[in-house]
Amino acid sequence: MAVCWKKNASNECNLPLCFAFISGFKMKFAIQINASPYSSGCGESAYQFLTAILEKSHQVYRVFFYHEAIYQAFHFMTPPDDEIDLVRRWSELAKKHQIDLVICISAAQRRGLLFENEAKRHNKVDNDLAEGFRISGLGQLVEAMLEADRFIIFR
């Protein structure tokens, strides 16, 4: 699950992660998610972690979806009525807290998640991206890693 965190370069937050939760210190978090919604509980863990840090008024700099996690953003996922709509839950979270949800473009294209313009460029008709997500490159992940006080991977 969560495997990665470390102090930022200026050492200003060289404190254990739990410190962020018990003190008033506000941190900037960047999150990477690696698994699809129905293959593991990774998305659920990430979602609950995000709601917990937002509740404590920490900042979420960016959530980056990589590997199989691009399936977390498929607009047309249609679960049965008695199941939670995981994609819509991300869209709502993004809207409520203005969180930057980024899908990796190369991982997405490989797996057939295209937004409209991109599909056109490949002579395809498609528009899969759910509301609240945007598609961009790995540079956005690295920038988030560098900007955040804590970077955490859910896999």
| Interface positions with other proteins (CB under 8 A) | 3-9, 34, 66-67, 106-107, 110, 138-139, 141-143, 145-146, 151, 153, 155
Least separation, in Å, of the C-beta of 134 and other proteins?
18
CA dist 114 and 79 (Å) reads 20
- Spatial contact of 34 and 67, defined as CB atoms under 8 Å apart: yes
In the annotation, is 104 catalytic? yes
Residues 82, 95 contacting (CB under 8 angstroms): no
Name the minimum Å distance from CB 74 to other proteins.
18
Residue closer to other proteins by CB (options 66, 74) is 66
Q: Based on CB atoms, which residue is closest to other proteins, 45 or 127?
A: 45
As measured in angstroms, the least distance from the Cβ of 78 to other proteins is 26
Distance set, CA 70 to CA 8, 35, 43, 101, 146 (Å): 27, 8, 11, 11, 22
Residue 13 or 93: which CB sits closer to other proteins? 13
- Cα(108)–Cα(122) distance, integer angstroms: 14
Report the catalytic residues: 104
